[in-house]
A and B are shown apart, each in its own frame.
Chain A
Amino acid sequence: MALEALRVNRLRSGLTMLGVIIGVAAVVVLVAIGTGAKNAIEQEIAGLGSNIILVVPGQLNFAAAPTQSRLDLTDVAYVRRVVGDESRVTVSVQSGETIRVGRDEAFVTVLGTDQFLPNIFDRPLRRGRYLTETDVDTRRRVVILGSEVAARLFGDVDPVGRQATISGVRFRVIGVYEKVGATFGVARDQEVHVPVTTAQRLIGVARINGIAVGASGPDEIEPLQRKVVDALVQRYPGEKFSAVTQTQLLGTIGTVLGMLTGVLAAIAGISLLVGGVGVSNIMLVSVRERTKEIGLRKALGARQRDILGQFLIEAVLLTTIGGVIGILLGVGGALLIAAVSPVPAAITWWSISLAFGVSVGVGVFFGVAPARRAGKLDPVVALRAE
C-alpha cells in the first residue's frame, strides 16, 4: 500500500529520495576514504618492523623545526651499553646526494647505518648482502641500493659487484633491497645504504641523525624507551631527547585521521539531515493532498494509529529505499575512487550499517510530524475537503 503511494508520484518520490541518496552515498564514500587512508598509513608504520623505538635529539613536536643534532657515534656506543645488547641498536646519518652509473644519475637519500639495521627494521634483501662490522669499521665504500634506485640505474642488469659513484666517490654495490614502499612520504625504495662511517666522511660530518632501538617485545617498549631517554639526558644535562614508538605514531595518526573521518562524516550527515527535511516537507504535502482519503479511511474505521502508521511507513520506506540506493552508490563510488585514483578506500560495515540505520531513523524522525498531523485529522473536516 505504501509502495503503491510512492509509485503514484514517481518523480516526486525520486526527487525526495535524492536528498537521502546523496547524503548516504556521501557518508559511505567519505568514511571509506578516511578509513582507507588510516589503514594505509597504519600498514606503512607496521611495515617498518616491529617494536621499534626511534631516539632523536631535541623535542619531537610536529610543529617545531628539527633540532640540530649533537649526537655522535660515541653516544651510539653509550646507548648500546645502556640497552645491554649492541645488536638491538642501530644508527642513521642522512643526506641527499647524487648517485651516478655511467651516464645515468639519480638523486637519492644516502643513509649511513651499520650491520644491525636488519635486526630492527624490516628490509629484506633481494640480492647480495647486508653491511658487516668490517664494512663499518674500515669505512668501506660499499652500498646497498633501494629497489627503485637499482631499477633506474641498472635496469635488468644485476647491480651486485658493479660500481656506482656517489658525489664523486666510487662505491661498490653489495646488495639490492626488496621493494618496501613509502612511509610518511619517505620513499624508502629510493634510499641507498652505506656504512655510517663512510657516510660521515662523504657528507663531512661527525654527528648522527638518530638512533633506533629494537625492543624484544611489546611489553619492553615503554620501559626501554624511558631508560634510553633518561640515560641520554643524564649524559647531556639540560638537553632534551625524544623517543617515539610505532604505537605512539599509530595512536597520534589514528586520532588525527579518526577526527578527519568524523568531520567528513558529519558534513555528509548534514546533507542527510537536509534530505530528511525534504522528506518531511513532501510528506506534509502528501498528507494535505490526501486529506479526503484520510477522512474516508477514518470513516471506514481506521484508528489514529492506523493512519499514523500508514504515513510513517511511507516516509520510512522513502528514506530506506533512498538509503539502500545511496549505500549502493556510495560503495560503487568508493570502489571506483580506489580503482582509478591513488586514494585508498576501505568500505567498512559499520559505516554501511550506520548509514542504513540513519536513513531509517531520518524517515521516522521526519515522518512523525506529518504522520501525526494525518492521524489527528477530524474525519468530518477531512471528508469535506476538496
Chain B
Amino acid sequence: MTPAFEAVALTRSYQLEGVSVEALRGVDLTVASGEFAAIIGPSGSGKSTLMHLLGCLDRPTSGTLRVGGVDVATLTDTELAELRNQTIGFVFQSFHLLARTSALDNVALPLVYRGVPRAERRTRARAALEAVGLAHRLAHRPAQMSGGEQQRVAIARALVGDPKVVLADEPTGNLDSRNGAEVMNLLQRLNADSGVAVILVTHEPEVAGRARRQIHVRDGVIELDTGSS
C-alpha cells in the first residue's frame, strides 16, 4: 500500500536578514496510511517546519517528499492546494475557526473549495459534527462554544473531506487537561474507526505518548523514531 508520506533527505532553510537558517537538515521519514504518530520536540526543533512540509503548506528546499505517492515538487501551487483539500485535514492549536460563521458552515468550508453543492456540504458537515459529538451545536458560533468544543469543530472540519491524513499541530495546547484528554480520545477513536492516519505535533511527552509511534525531532533532524516502518 502506498505510504501516506515518504520523505527522503528533506531540508528546509530560510533566509533571515541575509543569514541562511536551516530548520530541517535532512529528514528521512515514511508514514504508512492509517498510522497514529506523534512528532515531538522542543520549540525551535523544526517540528513545525516538518509539519508544514508534510501538510503541503510549504515546499522543501531540497530532498523529495511524496504525499500519497505523488512527488510534490512536480505540482503547481494550484495542484498543491487541491492535494491539501483532498488528502489532508488540519487541526491547529488555536482552532482557526471563522469567528462569525456557524459551526456547520465552518465544517463545510473545505467542501466549498472542492465545488460540492451547498445541500450536500451541509449534509456532510452535519454528519461530521455528529461524529465528534456536536450534533447539538450546529448553529453555534465559535465564541458561543468552549475551547474543547471549538477544537472538536476543527476536527470535524479536518474530517469532513475524508482525508487520508489528519495533521494536528499542538491540538491540546490551548485546552485544559480534561478537554485535552477528550480531544486526544477523539483523535484516537477516529484513527481506530475510520483508518485515517493521524500525525500529532507536540512538545508534551504525555500527549505524544498516546500515539503508537513517536518521532523525536531536534535541531532539524530526527533524533529517535520508535516506529519500524
Q: Do B82 and A303 touch across chains, with their CB atoms under 8 A apart?
A: yes
Chain B residue, CB-CB nearest to A301: B85
Judged by a CB distance under 8 angstroms, whether A193 is at the interface is no
> How many chain B residues touch A (Cβ–Cβ < 8 Å)?
23
Cα separation A301 to B113 with both chains bound (whole Å): 6
Q: Cβ of A293: which chain B residues have Cβ within 8 Å of it? A: 98
Q: Do B157 and A300 touch across chains, with their CB atoms under 8 A apart?
A: yes
Which one of A4, A295, A299 lies within 8 Å of B100 (CB-CB)?
A4
Tell me, rounded to whole Å, the shortest Cβ–Cβ distance linking A2 to chain B.
13
Q: Do B113 and A379 touch across chains, with their CB atoms under 8 A apart?
A: no
Cα separation A306 to B57 with both chains bound (whole Å): 16
Judged by a CB distance under 8 angstroms, whether A302 is at the interface is yes
Q: Among A299, A302, A303, find the residue whose CB has the most chain B CB atoms closer than 10 A.
A: A299
* Residue-wise interface mask of A (159-202) relative to B, using a CB-CB cutoff of 8 A (1 in contact, 0 not): 00000000000000000000000000000000000000000000
Cα separation A4 to B157 with both chains bound (whole Å): 20
Tell me, rounded to whole Å, the shortest Cβ–Cβ distance linking A312 to chain B.
16
Q: Cβ of B82: which chain A residues have Cβ within 8 Å of it? A: 301, 303
Q: Do A301 and B84 touch across chains, with their CB atoms under 8 A apart?
A: yes
Q: Do A302 and B57 touch across chains, with their CB atoms under 8 A apart?
A: no
Judged by a CB distance under 8 angstroms, whether B86 is at the interface is yes
Judged by a CB distance under 8 angstroms, whether B145 is at the interface is no
| Contact A298-B57, Cβ < 8 Å, known A292-B96, A303-B82, A383-B92 | yes
| Contact A301-B57, Cβ < 8 Å, known A4-B100, A8-B100 | no
Cα separation A305 to B78 with both chains bound (whole Å): 9
Tell me, rounded to whole Å, the shortest Cβ–Cβ distance linking A380 to chain B.
5
Cα separation A211 to B87 with both chains bound (whole Å): 91
Q: Do A383 and B81 touch across chains, with their CB atoms under 8 A apart?
A: no
Judged by a CB distance under 8 angstroms, whether A296 is at the interface is yes
Tell me, rounded to whole Å, the shortest Cβ–Cβ distance linking A309 to chain B.
11
9 inter-chain pairs at a CB distance below 8 angstroms, sorted by A residue, are A296-B92, A296-B96, A298-B81, A300-B109, A300-B157, A301-B113, A301-B161, A303-B77, A305-B78
Cα separation A4 to B106 with both chains bound (whole Å): 14
Interface residues, chain A, CB within 8 Å of chain B? Answer: 4, 8, 292-293, 295-306, 378-380, 383
Cα separation A378 to B52 with both chains bound (whole Å): 11
Tell me, rounded to whole Å, the shortest Cβ–Cβ distance linking A293 to chain B.
6
Q: Cβ of B110: which chain A residues have Cβ within 8 Å of it? A: 300-301
Cα separation A108 to B29 with both chains bound (whole Å): 106
Q: Do A383 and B96 touch across chains, with their CB atoms under 8 A apart?
A: yes
Q: Do B77 and A299 touch across chains, with their CB atoms under 8 A apart?
A: no
Cα separation A301 to B87 with both chains bound (whole Å): 10
Would you list the 5 A-B pairs with minimal beta carbon distance, nearest first? A301-B85, A301-B113, A303-B81, A300-B110, A379-B57
Cα separation A150 to B82 with both chains bound (whole Å): 86
| Contact A302-B96, Cβ < 8 Å, known A379-B57, A380-B52, A383-B57 | no
Chain A residue, CB-CB nearest to B51: A380
Q: Do B52 and A300 touch across chains, with their CB atoms under 8 A apart?
A: no
Q: Do B55 and A299 touch across chains, with their CB atoms under 8 A apart?
A: yes
Cα separation A203 to B68 with both chains bound (whole Å): 107
Cα separation A305 to B82 with both chains bound (whole Å): 12
Within 8 A of A (CB), among B96-113: 96, 98, 100-101, 109-110, 113
* Residue-wise interface mask of B (42-64) relative to A, using a CB-CB cutoff of 8 A (1 in contact, 0 not): 00000000001001011000000
Q: Cβ of B92: which chain A residues have Cβ within 8 Å of it? A: 296, 383
Q: Cβ of A383: which chain B residues have Cβ within 8 Å of it? A: 57, 92, 96
Chain B residue, CB-CB nearest to A376: B77
Other 5 A-B pairs with CB < 8 A, given A301-B85, A302-B113: A4-B100, A299-B84, A301-B86, A379-B58, A383-B96
Tell me, rounded to whole Å, the shortest Cβ–Cβ distance linking B167 to chain A.
9
Q: Cβ of A296: which chain B residues have Cβ within 8 Å of it? A: 92, 96, 98
| Contact A303-B96, Cβ < 8 Å, known A297-B109, A380-B52, A383-B57 | no
Q: Cβ of A297: which chain B residues have Cβ within 8 Å of it? A: 109, 113
Q: Cβ of A305: which chain B residues have Cβ within 8 Å of it? A: 78
Q: Cβ of B100: which chain A residues have Cβ within 8 Å of it? A: 4, 8
Q: Do B78 and A303 touch across chains, with their CB atoms under 8 A apart?
A: yes
Judged by a CB distance under 8 angstroms, whether B90 is at the interface is yes
Q: Cβ of B81: which chain A residues have Cβ within 8 Å of it? A: 298, 301-304, 306
Q: Cβ of B96: which chain A residues have Cβ within 8 Å of it? A: 292, 295-296, 299, 383
Q: Cβ of B77: which chain A residues have Cβ within 8 Å of it? A: 303-304
Q: Cβ of A4: which chain B residues have Cβ within 8 Å of it? A: 100-101
Cα separation A278 to B85 with both chains bound (whole Å): 35
Q: Do A380 and B157 touch across chains, with their CB atoms under 8 A apart?
A: no
Judged by a CB distance under 8 angstroms, whether B140 is at the interface is no
| Contact A380-B58, Cβ < 8 Å, known A300-B113, A301-B114, A306-B113 | yes
Q: Cβ of B90: which chain A residues have Cβ within 8 Å of it? A: 299-300
Tell me, rounded to whole Å, the shortest Cβ–Cβ distance linking B177 to chain A.
26
Cα separation A379 to B56 with both chains bound (whole Å): 10
Cα separation A4 to B105 with both chains bound (whole Å): 13
Chain A residue, CB-CB nearest to B52: A380
